[in-house]
């Protein structure tokens, strides 16, 4: 259930998937994002960097936002293979995901690195989508909330005005596994995140959207998106098919 006054956001993280032919999928997403749906929910697609410019051009006037999947903390320099937030903005992006669990695990990103990337996004006038979430072992040991609070404390910028930050809760054990937490588990974590945001940012914390991510698909979207303080979804595999991605967004119609 989207927090009062907040416009829900459904974001698609394409990860390392897609090529030039994928523009057809993106075009179908745009076609299905009619005026009635646009009035209810914001759509964001985060393609691989190789497609950012192409999708950015196609997206003009559609209402669908484009985002990056990661950025470097520096604006430029000798960082082979990395992408600066400013380069994403130049390609037409308005958002960037930082701190995804796959970046934290595969590239050893610490909370401090994630925070630096979130600040880089701000520098380039992008909205960072900061990801947090516990592993299955941390969940089963009863430490999920402590893990998420620790990640938030170290990963988020010191200041926020509400509209310049998005938080995404993605339990690591639910990403790409087909497993999903119960609505009550999601509600518990989202309530803890909201309390943390309000404690850190005051009233501005009430205006920060909190997304749920982790094996979200049309079949479970209603149960997950109806939970209090769930202000949208960060979608992985289901965002690669226009019908599935739009099917999740249809919850808000």
Q: Annotated active-site positions, please?
A: 100, 170
Q: Are 175 and 101 in contact (CB under 8 A)?
A: yes
Q: Which residues pair with 45 in a beta bridge?
A: 12, 66
Angle (nearest 5°) at CA 70 between 38 and 27 = 35
First and final C-alpha spacing in the chain: 13
Q: Which of 182, 132, 125, 127 is nearest to 152 (CA)?
A: 132
CA dihedral 98, 45, 55, 241 (to 10 degrees): 130
The token pair at 79 is 């960082």
Element containing residue 228 per DSSP (H, E): none
Q: Which residues of 81-101 are buried (b: 16+ CB within 10 A; e: fewer)?
A: eebbbbbbbebbbbbbbbbbb
Length of the chain equals 253
Give the separation between CA 208 and CA 161, rounded to whole angstroms: 8
Q: Is 135 exposed, middle or buried (0-12, 13-18, 19+ CB in 10 A)?
A: middle
- Element holding 226 (H helix, E strand): none
């Amino acid at each position: 259930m989207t927090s009062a006054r907040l416009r829900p956001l459904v974001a698609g993280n394409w990860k390392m998937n897609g090529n030039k032919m994928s523009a057809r999928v993106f075009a179908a997403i745009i076609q299905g994002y009619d005026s009635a749906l646009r009035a209810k929910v914001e759509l964001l697609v985060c393609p691989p960097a190789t497609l950012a410019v192409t999708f950015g051009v196609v997206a003009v006037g559609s209402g669908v936002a484009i985002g990056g999947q990661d950025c470097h903390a520096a604006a430029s320099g000798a960082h082979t293979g990395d992408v600066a937030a400013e380069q994403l903005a130049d390609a037409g992006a308005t958002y960037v995901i930082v701190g995804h669990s796959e970046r934290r695990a595969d590239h050893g990103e610490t909370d401090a690195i994630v925070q630096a990337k979130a600040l880089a996004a701000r520098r380039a006038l992008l909205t960072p989508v900061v990801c947090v979430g516990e592993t299955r072992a941390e969940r089963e040991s009863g430490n999920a909330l402590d893990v998420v609070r620790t990640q938030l404390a170290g990963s988020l910028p010191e200041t926020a005005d509400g509209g310049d930050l998005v938080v995404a809760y993605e339990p690591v054990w639910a990403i790409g596994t087909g497993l999903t937490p119960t609505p009550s588990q999601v509600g518990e974590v989202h309530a803890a995140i909201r309390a943390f945001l309000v404690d850190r940012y005051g009233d501005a914390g009430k205006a920060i959207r909190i997304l749920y991510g982790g094996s979200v698909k049309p079949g479970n979207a209603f149960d997950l998106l109806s939970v209090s303080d769930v202000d949208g979804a960060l979608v992985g595999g289901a965002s690669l098919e226009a019908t599935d991605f739009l099917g999740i967004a249809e919850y808000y119609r």
